[in-house]
Amino acid sequence: MLERIASMSPRAAGQRPAQERVAAAPRRPLAGEDNTHPSDRVLQLWQSASAVCFDVDCTVASNDQLDLLAEWMGVGEQVAALTNSAMDGSMSLEDALEKRLEIINCTPADIQAFLRAHPAESRLVPGARELIEQLQSRGVAVYLISGGFRELCLPIARALGVPPAHLFANRMNWQVDDETGMPTKLVGFDLREPTGHQGGKPRAIAALRALYPYETVVMVGDGITDLEAVQESGGADMFVGFGGVVERPVVKASADWFVTSLDALQDALPRYRVAMIGSGAWACTAVKMIAENLRSPEKGSKFVREVKMYVWEEEVDGRKLTELINETHQNVKYLPGCDLGDNVVACPDLIETAKDAHVLVFCSPHQFIHRMVKQLAGHIRKDAIAVSLTKGMRVRPDGPQLISEMIRKELGLDCSVLMGANIAADIARGELSEATIAYNVLANGQLLQEVFDRPYFYTQLVPDVVGAEMCGTLKNIVALAAGFVEGLGYGPNTRAAIMRAGLDDMRRLAKALYPTVRDATFFESCGVADLIATCTGGRNRLVAKAFVEAQQAGQPHSFDELEASLLHGQKLQGVLTSHEVQEILRRKGWELEYPLFTAVNRIVCGHQPAAAIVHYKAAAAAPVPGTESPSQSTDDLQRLGAIALGARPAAQA
C-alpha cells in the first residue's frame, strides 16, 4: 500500500477499480473531426485516469480571477485584453502576467477586500465541486494547475475540497515595509514557479509524475497553456478542452475531447460493479446490505445497480437454488425469510459472476476459496479490488496463508478484509452491528465503506489486514471451547476465563506469526467484540455445546454429523481451523505456548474428553496417544500448571 504522504499520494497502481489502464496518449484529433464526443480511446483514458489536473480560471472558477481583481481595482478593460492575448497564444505568459500585475498594482488589503466581496463558493463553475468529489472518491488524485496566482486560487481550492498542497500557481512578490515587516506593495511575481512560464503546466505535471507513479494523467482546461500539457513529453496523457466559460478556437480544434459542461465529464466516469463470491448465511446477509446501497439513488452515479452472486448450485425441493433465488429474491436454504433485493442476481457460473466486477467480495467457507481463486485466475479485471469476509486460513508446507494473502498472490489484487461481530441472521433482521474493514490502501477501504455501511451496520477502518483476519480466524477455535464449557454447564466465570485465555492465545499467536499485527486491532469489532459474539451466539459454539451434550447423553456424535444435522448445509469453520492452526503449532514446536488452542484440538481429535477444557493447560501438556509429545517433561507440566491443578491427563486416567 502507498500511505498518503501529506495527502498527495495516489493509490498504488493496479489497486484501484477503474477501467483498463492505457499508457499511450491518444492521437491528436484531425482537423474538422468532431471531438465533442469522446472516442473509445479517449473514454478509456478518462476512466483510467490516476490523476486529473484542472486549470483554475475559466475552468473550475467561472472567470479569470486576475481580470476580476482588475475590474475591482477599476482597470478591467486593459487587463482583460492582455489575458486573452496570453490564452490565445499571441503573447507570452510571462509578459502577460508581468504587464497585468503592473496595471493592477494592488495591496494585500485590496486582495483581502476583493476576496471578501467575491466569495469563492459563488465563483465555481457548475458541476466542478461534484466532479472533483466524484474523482477523489474514486481514488483519483486531483490537482489545480493555474497560470494565475496562489493568493486568488487558494480560496477556490478550499471551496473545491482540493488540498493546498495540490495547488500549483504563481506567487506574488511583495515589497515589505522596513518598519513593520508587513507586505505593502506588489512588485511582480516569483519567477521560480513553473506556472509563470510558457510550458509550465507540463513541467508541473512532469514533477508530479517523478514523485508519484501515476499511469494516466489528464489535463482539463480552457487555454493554450493547458493544451501545452499534452504537447511536451512527460506531461499529461490526454487534454480535455473546456469551453463552458470561454470557447477558444485553437483549444477546441486541438483538444482530445472538447466539452462545454463539466457534467459531461462526470457522466463519463466509470460505474463500479460489485460481485459476491458465496451464497451462505453471511454471504447473503452481506449481499443484502450491498444491494440496498447499490439501489440507493445517491450511489447510482458510482455503482452499477445489479450485484451478481455466485451460488454453488444445488437442488432444493427439486429446483435449482439459483432459479429459486432469482424468482423469490430469497436464499431459501441458507437465509430463509430474508429479502435480498431485486438487484441481486444469483449465478451458478463463478467466472461469469466475477469477470466484469470492479469489487470482488469473497465470502465462502474458507476450505473452498483456494479452488475458486485458482479457477478465477486470468478471468477477472486486472484493476479490480477484493475484500474477504471469509474467516479461516490455509496451511502450506512453508507456513500459514491467510485468505487475503491467497487472493493477493493468486489473483494479483489488493485484498482488504471485513471482519467483525457479525452473526448473519441477526444482521439480516436489521439488528445493529459493527465491523472492521482492514485495508492496505486507504482509498480502497473507503470505497468498501460505501459498499457496506448501512444505518444498522457501521464499519470502522483499520490499517491492519493480517491482524483483523487472524482475529476472525482464530476466534472460531475459542468459540469451540466456549461451547464445550457451556455444554458442561459452567457459568459466566468459567466462560469468561476461557474467552480471556483464548484472546490471549489469539493475540500472541497473531503477533508471533505476523510481527506487524497491532495490539489495538484486538479492541476493534474484529477482535474482542467478535470473540464475545461468536462465543455467545455463533454456530461453532452451538455445535461444540451439542457435541458435549450428546456425549453426556451417552449418544456421542462426531462434529461432521452434528454440522449436518444442526446447520443444514452451513459450514463449521472452527474444527477445520483448529486442525490447521495445530499443524502450525506442531511444526513450530509451539503447542505448549498456546494451551487453549492445543487443548481444544486434543478434544476435537478425541485425545481428551471435553471436560478437560477447564484444565486446558494440563490438557495441552498431556501426551497424545501414539506420539512422542514434547510436552511430557516434568518441567513443562509444572510450568503449565498441570501438576498444580492436580489434573490427570484423560488418556492416562
Ligand X SMILES: NC(=O)C1=CN([C@@H]2O[C@H](COP(=O)(O)OP(=O)(O)OC[C@H]3O[C@@H](n4cnc5c(N)ncnc54)[C@H](O)[C@@H]3O)[C@@H](O)[C@H]2O)C=CC1
Count Cβ atoms below 10 Å from residue 136 Cβ, excluding itself.
17
Q: Which of 127, 235, 280, 527 binds ligand X (CB under 6 A)?
A: 280
Q: Say which entry of ligand 13P, ligand X, none residue 334 contacts (CB below 5 to 8 A, set by partner kind).
A: ligand X
Q: Which is nearer to ligand 13P, 201 or 539 (CB)?
A: 539
Q: Which of 69, 238, 421, 531 binds ligand 13P (CB under 6 A)?
A: 421
Q: Say which entry of ligand 13P, ligand X, none residue 487 contacts (CB below 5 to 8 A, set by partner kind).
A: none
Q: Which of 49, 291, 384, 479 binds ligand 13P (CB under 6 A)?
A: 479
Q: 308, 333, 391, 475: which is the annotated catalytic residue?
A: 475
Q: Which is nearer to ligand X, 170 or 573 (CB)?
A: 573
Q: Does 132 bind ligand 13P (CB under 6 A)?
A: no
Q: Say which entry of ligand 13P, ligand X, none residue 571 contacts (CB below 5 to 8 A, set by partner kind).
A: ligand X
Tell me, yes or no, if 302 is annotated catalytic: no
Q: Does 422 bind ligand X (CB under 6 A)?
A: yes
3-state secondary structure 77-144: HHHHHHHHHHHHCCCCHHHHHHHHHHHHCCCHHHHHHHHHHCCHHHHECCCHHHHHHHHHHCCCEEEE
Pairwise CA distance, residues 506 & 469, whole Å: 11
Q: Which is nearer to ligand 13P, 52 or 421 (CB)?
A: 421
Q: Which is nearer to ligand X, 383 or 530 (CB)?
A: 530
Location of C-alpha cell 466542478: 128
Q: Does 381 bind ligand X (CB under 6 A)?
A: no
Q: Which residues are CB-neighbours of 561 under 8 A, at least 6 positions away?
A: none
In whole angstroms, the minimum distance from the beta carbon of 440 to ligand 13P comes to 22
* Burial class of residue 14 in the structure, from the number of CB atoms within 10 Å of its CB (0-12 exposed, 13-18 middle, 19+ buried): middle
Q: Does 573 bind ligand 13P (CB under 6 A)?
A: yes
Pairwise CA distance, residues 510 & 265, whole Å: 46
In whole angstroms, the minimum distance from the beta carbon of 370 to ligand 13P comes to 19
Q: Which of 46, 189, 214, 282 binds ligand X (CB under 6 A)?
A: 282
| Cell of residue 422, nine digits | 457479525
Q: Does 21 bind ligand X (CB under 6 A)?
A: no
Pairwise CA distance, residues 272 & 17, whole Å: 7
| Cell of residue 351, nine digits | 467466472
Pairwise CA distance, residues 127 & 133, whole Å: 10
Cα-flanking dihedrals φ and ψ of residue 493, to 5°? -60, -50
Count Cβ atoms below 10 Å from residue 514 Cβ, excluding itself.
17
Region near ligand 13P per CB under 6 A, out of 403-411, 511-519, 538-546, 620-628: 538-546
Region near ligand 13P per CB under 6 A, out of 134-142, 323-331, 406-414, 526-534: 526-534
Q: Does 283 bind ligand X (CB under 6 A)?
A: yes
Q: Does 538 bind ligand 13P (CB under 6 A)?
A: yes
Q: Does 570 bind ligand X (CB under 6 A)?
A: yes
Q: Which of 47, 254, 322, 364 binds ligand X (CB under 6 A)?
A: 364
Q: Does 539 bind ligand 13P (CB under 6 A)?
A: yes
Q: What element of type H or E holds 370?
A: helix 366-376
Beta bridge partners of 361: 276, 387
Beta bridge partners of 53: 143, 219
Q: Which of 534, 578, 598, 608 binds ligand 13P (CB under 6 A)?
A: 534
Q: What element of type H or E holds 285?
A: helix 281-295
Location of C-alpha cell 506588489: 186
Chain positions 388 to 407 lying near ligand X, rule: CB under 6 A, are: 389-392
Pairwise CA distance, residues 25 & 176, whole Å: 46
Query: Which has the closest alpha carbon to 407: 359, 459, 349?
Result: 359
Q: Does 540 bind ligand X (CB under 6 A)?
A: no
Location of C-alpha cell 462465543: 535
Whether 302 contacts 450, CB under 8 Å: yes
Q: Which of 53, 424, 510, 620 binds ligand X (CB under 6 A)?
A: 424
Pairwise CA distance, residues 327 & 324, whole Å: 5
Q: Which of 533, 599, 612, 624 binds ligand 13P (CB under 6 A)?
A: 533
What is the chain's Cα-based Rg? 31
Q: Helices 530-537 and 465-487 meet at what angle, rounded to 10?
A: 30
Q: Does 285 bind ligand 13P (CB under 6 A)?
A: no
Q: Say which entry of ligand 13P, ligand X, none residue 639 contacts (CB below 5 to 8 A, set by partner kind).
A: none
Q: What element of type H or E holds 507?
A: helix 492-513
Pairing assessment for the beta strands 257-259 and 238-242 based on DSSP bridges: parallel
Whether 380 contacts 402, CB under 8 Å: no
Q: Say which entry of ligand X, ligand 13P, none residue 421 contacts (CB below 5 to 8 A, set by partner kind).
A: ligand 13P
Region near ligand 13P per CB under 6 A, out of 107-115, 230-238, 421-429, 579-587: 421-429
Q: Does 146 bind ligand X (CB under 6 A)?
A: no
Region near ligand X per CB under 6 A, out of 151-159, 221-229, 231-239, 421-429: 421-429
Q: Say which entry of ligand X, ligand 13P, none residue 540 contacts (CB below 5 to 8 A, set by partner kind).
A: ligand 13P
Q: Say which entry of ligand X, ligand 13P, none residue 193 contacts (CB below 5 to 8 A, set by partner kind).
A: none
Identify the DSSP state of 526: I
Pairwise CA distance, residues 125 & 128, whole Å: 6
Q: Which of 28, 88, 312, 401 binds ligand X (CB under 6 A)?
A: 312
Q: Does 559 bind ligand X (CB under 6 A)?
A: no
Interacting residues toward ligand 13P by CB under 6 A: 391, 421-423, 476, 479, 530, 533-534, 538-540, 573
Residues marked active site are found at 475
Interacting residues toward ligand X by CB under 6 A: 278-283, 312, 334, 363-366, 368, 389-392, 422-424, 570-571, 573
